[in-house]
């Protein structure tokens, strides 16, 4: 079978078809005070996977709400509770004058959280691949993610140390490491994303605040002074006008930084997915910055326009967007693609959920 850019991935769902699922999920989550969200996630994935075709066959999601609930409970008991106790102990030490010990304990707790976030990201991807079937074949990994957790903490911290300049390197390196530990069927993923194609976009995001702040201070002071001279009264101080101008400019800076962040993230996904392959199949992602902005603006309008109810449709919108822009080229031989022999994890991505890292 040939995977071509015209028809490799197709999403055949309709929002009218998904609406009853989303609204029922919302109602049951409210009635059960949030407990139903594990089964709501499962229902949503069943629908989205079944409406997603790769070449000639739809995907199948086999995960259950019980698995997600057990994973969440396991994470709370094994990781979150000890972390909270560690933090309380540090506070007690500080209140009793043992500031050095409290600081050490707090630092250790922070490093543990960094480690756990890395493990959570790895195991969530492993779980999702293990519950995704195509032609009766699933994905997975035999790696438990502990090594990746240490690498995630180390590379993330290293990325931040030189004033965040190595963040793109950390993101690309960790993406490659995570995917190369995964497989689908008998074939291993290959990931060789490069830092170069995304670093220029990151520099735009990195340098923009310094340039904008310098320009903004000059513009705000000039505008504020001129605004003050236009106000009636002989004893008008320019202070309030300048303050209002500066506040407005700060808001504009945050909005512009959000736009530049989208520019960087779009470039990162195109590079990362575009350098990912499985066997003879190469993947591609063609979404540009403008298309991401339309997606996010649509999200805001949907949620605000429905007084929050529309948040239940965001997963549908994001999945449709991702599949629409995902492409694949190459040959898929079912005769050589045998079933995965990787272990099946028994719990869902509870650690990711418990740490509120969140990723569909």
pLDDT in tens, 160-213: 888 888 999 999 999 999 999 999 999 999 999 999 999 988 887 777 777 776
% of the chain beyond a pLDDT of 70: 84
pLDDT band at 259 (very low <50, low <70, confident <90, very high): confident
d(CA 15, CA 117): 33
pLDDT at residue 166, as a whole number: 93
pLDDT band at 47 (very low <50, low <70, confident <90, very high): very high
Higher per-residue pLDDT: 5 or 320: 320
pLDDT at residue 356, as a whole number: 47
Lowest mean pLDDT among 10-14, 104-108, 226-230, 248-252: 226-230
Q: Is 47 helix (H, G, I), strand (E, B) or coil?
A: helix
The CA-based dihedral angle spanning residues 166, 289, 179, 76, taken in that order and rounded to the nearest 10 degrees: 80
- Assess whether pLDDT exceeds 90 at residue 154: yes
- Assess whether pLDDT exceeds 70 at residue 267: yes
pLDDT at residue 205, as a whole number: 74
- Assess whether pLDDT exceeds 80 at residue 126: yes
pLDDT in tens, 49-67: 999 999 889 999 999 999 9
In this structure, the strands spanning 60-61 and 187-191 are unpaired
117 and 357 Cβ atoms separated by less than 8 Å: yes
pLDDT in tens, 297-350: 999 999 999 999 999 999 999 999 999 999 999 988 776 778 888 888 776 676
Q: Can you tell me the mean pLDDT for 106-129? A: 88
93 and 102 Cβ atoms separated by less than 8 Å: yes
Mean pLDDT of all residues in the chain? 85
Burial 323-338 (b: 16+ CB within 10 A, else e): bebbbbebebeeeebe
User: If residue 183 lies in a helix (H) or strand (E), which one and from where to where?
Assistant: strand 183-184
- Assess whether pLDDT exceeds 90 at residue 111: no
Residue 36: other Cβ atoms inside 10 A: 20
Measure the N-to-C terminal CA separation of the chain; round to a whole number of Å. Answer: 29
Higher per-residue pLDDT: 322 or 84: 322
pLDDT in tens, 199-252: 988 887 777 777 776 776 676 666 656 655 555 555 455 556 566 666 766 777
- The token duo for 58 is 């739809």
pLDDT band at 360 (very low <50, low <70, confident <90, very high): very low
pLDDT band at 266 (very low <50, low <70, confident <90, very high): very high
pLDDT at residue 129, as a whole number: 95
Q: What's the predicted TM-score (pTM) here?
A: 0.85
- Assess whether pLDDT exceeds 60 at residue 9: yes
Higher per-residue pLDDT: 234 or 87: 87
- Assess whether pLDDT exceeds 80 at residue 104: yes
pLDDT at residue 240, as a whole number: 64
Higher per-residue pLDDT: 227 or 156: 156
Q: Can you tell me the mean pLDDT for 54-83? A: 87
The DSSP line for 88-130 is: HHHHHHHHTT-HHHHHHHHHHHHHHHHHHHHHHHHHHHHHHHH
Instruction: Give me the residue spans of the domains in the chain.
Output: 1-61+281-331, 67-193+344-360, 194-274
């Amino acid at each position: 079978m040939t995977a071509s850019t015209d028809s490799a991935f197709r999403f055949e769902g309709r929002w009218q078809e998904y609406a009853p699922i989303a609204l029922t999920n919302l109602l049951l989550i409210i009635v059960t005070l949030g407990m139903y969200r594990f089964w709501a996630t499962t229902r949503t994935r069943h629908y989205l996977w079944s409406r997603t075709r790769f070449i000639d066959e739809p995907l199948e999601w086999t995960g259950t709400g019980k698995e997600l609930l057990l994973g969440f409970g396991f994470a709370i008991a094994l990781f979150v509770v000890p972390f909270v106790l560690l933090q309380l102990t540090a506070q007690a030490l500080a209140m009793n004058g043992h500031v050095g010990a409290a600081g050490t304990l707090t630092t250790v707790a922070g490093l543990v959280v960094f480690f756990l976030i890395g493990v959570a990201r790895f195991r969530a991807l492993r779980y999702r691949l293990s519950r995704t079937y195509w032609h009766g074949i699933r994905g997975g990994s035999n790696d438990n993610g502990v090594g990746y957790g240490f690498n995630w903490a180390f590379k993330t911290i290293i990325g931040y140390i030189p004033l965040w300049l190595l963040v793109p390197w950390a993101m690309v390196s960790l993406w490659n490491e995570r995917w190369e530990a995964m497989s689908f069927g008998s074939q291993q993923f290959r990931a060789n994303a490069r830092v170069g194609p995304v670093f220029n976009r990151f520099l735009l995001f990195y340098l923009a605040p310094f340039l904008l702040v310098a320009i903004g201070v000059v513009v705000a002071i000039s505008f504020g002074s001129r605004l003050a001279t236009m106000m009636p009264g002989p004893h008008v101080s320019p202070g309030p006008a300048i303050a209002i101008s500066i506040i407005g400019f700060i808001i504009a800076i945050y909005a512009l930084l959000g736009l530049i962040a989208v520019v960087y993230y779009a470039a990162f996904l195109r590079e990362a997915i575009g350098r990912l392959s499985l066997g003879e199949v190469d993947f591609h992602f063609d979404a540009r910055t403008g298309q991401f902005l339309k997606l996010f603006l649509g999200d805001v309008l949907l949620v605000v326009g429905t007084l929050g109810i529309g948040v239940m449709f965001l997963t549908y919108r994001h999945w449709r967007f991702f599949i629409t822009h995902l492409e694949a080229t190459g040959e898929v031989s079912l005769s050589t693609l045998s079933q995965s022999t990787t272990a099946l994890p028994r719990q869902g991505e509870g650690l990711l959920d418990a740490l509120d890292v969140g990723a569909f």
